[in-house]
Every structure is written in C-alpha cells, then in structure tokens.
A and B are shown apart, each in its own frame.
Chain A
Amino acid sequence: GAVVSQHPSWVICKSGTSVKIECRSLDFQATTMFWYRQFPKQSLMLMATSNEGSKATYEQGVEKDKFLINHASLTLSTLTVTSAHPEDSSFYICSVGGHYNEQFFGPGTRLTVL
C-alpha cells in the first residue's frame, strides 16, 4: 500500500495563530486525499475530501474558512487551521485513497492550542 507521512507529528501553538499540517504520499500518486479529526478515545470524523487541482469538499458542519485545504500536487496536501483556539486541539489524520476504496493513513498530527 501507499506510504503516507505527516509533518509535524506534534505542534503546540498559541490561541489565534495559524498552523499548517502537511500530508505527503511518498510512493503513490494521490488524486484524492482525506482529512480526519480524531478526539481522544473516539472514532475518526471525516472533515474533507481533497482532490488534486480542485477545491476540497467539506463535510457538513466543518468550517471551510477555518480549515483550509490545498492539494496542489499528486503527492502533497496541506491543512491549515486558521486562528486556532483550544477547542481545535485534536489529532488530525490524513489518508490517501487507494484502489477499491481502501485508504492508507498517515501517522497523524497532534495539535495543542494553548
């Protein structure tokens, strides 16, 4: 399967600042990437579907102006959390769409907003 990396693995920021998280597909050309959010001891919640070269599709209830997604190449998608607040603290996970609907996940980025 595809190897997916995320950077950074852990970030701490002050309230009101913006944070960018990178998701890279190292060995697979990813036309579609997905961004999830995972709260402690809970399941993954899909935030948005990112398509290379076009706008992301956001799930209901996810603020597109707050969670900016850019998928400019077949190997890189970025998630920017703008004007972060403590309630945005979470584990953010990206995945790459493979064949037959399987997805390959990155290791996740833990965001802590002070």
Chain B
Amino acid sequence: GDSVTQMEGPVTLSEEAFLTINCTYTATGYPSLFWYVQYPGEGLQLLLKATKADDKGSNKGFEATYRKETTSFHLEKGSVQVSDSAVYFCALSTDGSSNTGKLIFGQGTTLQVKP
C-alpha cells in the first residue's frame, strides 16, 4: 500500500543552520505531496505542496522538490530560526485533483532550533 517514510527525529539545530528533513514515499499512480507543520499546542498547517514531478513547493523560506525518480520530497531551509521549532509531517494523496483524497502521513519529525 501507499506509505510515507520520514527521517527520525528529533533534529536539533542552532539558529541559522541549514535544515534538511528527508521524506520518501511509496505510491501507485501519481500522488500529490505535502509538508504540514504542527507548532506546539496548535493544529496542523499546510506548509507547502507539489502536485506533479519536478514541481517545487515553497513557503516561508522552506522548499521541497517532487522527485519522481527517487520517490522523494525532502524539506529544506537555508537558515532556520527558533520560531521554526515544530513537528513536520510529510504526506501524500493519490486521489487525483478532487477534494476527497485521503492523506497518508509520515511519522513526523520534531525540529528543535536553539538560539
């Protein structure tokens, strides 16, 4: 079945360091890929998305490129801030362009950024 695998956390970085959180997927068909972020005490928020191969999603300095050949969607940021401390979830959906597609989540990666 379809699945998403993320690197295990927690990831601890100093402020202004470079961030990479790895995400790989297994899916039949052509999934859409997402990164969601959950700040402490809050609900999940969509961070960025990509709907087809080679698309790059970007938001708030974060980027991820949909790589079909390596089935990956790694999250990157050039310079993290303390306020980026949160749990990051990679997810996929395989239900075309409808609004009824189920999301399959990775296990989440906790990021801690120290000043």
Q: In the complex, are the beta carbons of A44 and B105 less than 8 A apart?
A: yes
Q: In angstroms, how far is the closest chain A Cβ from the Cβ of B21? A: 14
Which of A31, A101, A102, A107 sits near B43, CB closer than 8 Å? A107
Q: In the complex, are the beta carbons of B103 and A104 less than 8 A apart?
A: no
A95 vs B104: C-alpha distance in the bound complex, in angstroms? 13
Chain A residues bordering chain B, tally (CB within 8 A): 26
Given contacts A32-B100, A101-B101, A102-B46, contact A43 B93 (CB under 8 A): no
A97 vs B42: C-alpha distance in the bound complex, in angstroms? 19
Q: In the complex, are the beta carbons of A42 and B100 less than 8 A apart?
A: no
Please list the residues of chain B having a beta carbon within 8 angstroms of any beta carbon in chain A: 32, 34, 36, 42-46, 49, 51, 89, 93, 95-108, 110
Given contacts A44-B105, A102-B49, contact A108 B99 (CB under 8 A): no
Q: In the complex, are the beta carbons of B102 and A43 less than 8 A apart?
A: no
A window 44-93: CB within 8 A of B: 44, 46, 49, 51, 93
Chain B residues within an 8 Å CB radius of A1 = 46
Per DSSP, are chain B's interface residues mostly helix, strand or loop, or mixed?
loop
Chain B residues within an 8 Å CB radius of A93 = 43-44
Please list the residues of chain A having a beta carbon within 8 angstroms of any beta carbon in chain B: 1, 4, 31-32, 34, 41-44, 46, 49, 51, 93, 95, 97-108
A-B pairs with beta carbons under 8 A, tally: 67
Q: In angstroms, how far is the closest chain B Cβ from the Cβ of A26? A: 13
Q: In the complex, are the beta carbons of A97 and B100 less than 8 A apart?
A: yes
Chain A residues within an 8 Å CB radius of B44 = 44, 93, 95, 105
Q: What would 12 more interface pairs be, CB under 8 Å, given A100-B51, A101-B103, A107-B42?
A: A4-B43, A31-B100, A32-B99, A43-B108, A44-B89, A44-B105, A46-B103, A49-B100, A51-B100, A98-B99, A99-B97, A101-B98
Q: In angstroms, how far is the closest chain B Cβ from the Cβ of A58? A: 12
Q: List 15 A-B contacts (CB under 8 A).
A: A31-B99, A34-B103, A41-B110, A42-B107, A43-B105, A44-B44, A44-B105, A46-B103, A49-B102, A93-B43, A98-B99, A101-B51, A101-B98, A103-B46, A104-B46
